[in-house]
Amino acid sequence: MRKDVDVEEKHVEKKHDSSKVASSFIKYLAYIIIFFGFLWFLVQYVFPMFQ
């Protein structure tokens, strides 16, 4: 007796594309730099106007 069974193969690949990792790192680093630049602008120019 022979059974014909379809076996589904799953290939699990690790998400380790170095170019995607690098581009994400650069993107979030840019967000952080812009955020701290905005805070620096507030502290240097906006807050002294209220004193």
Global model pTM greater than 0.85: no
Domain edges within the chain: 20-50
pLDDT attached to residue 1: 64
CA distance 42 to 51: 13
pLDDT attached to residue 30: 98
**Tokens 């004193």 label which residue?**
51
pLDDT attached to residue 42: 94
Q: What secondary structure letter does DSSP report for 21?
A: H
Confidence of residue 6 (pLDDT cuts 50, 70, 90): confident
pLDDT attached to residue 50: 83
In the predicted structure, residue 43 carries a pLDDT above the cut 80: yes
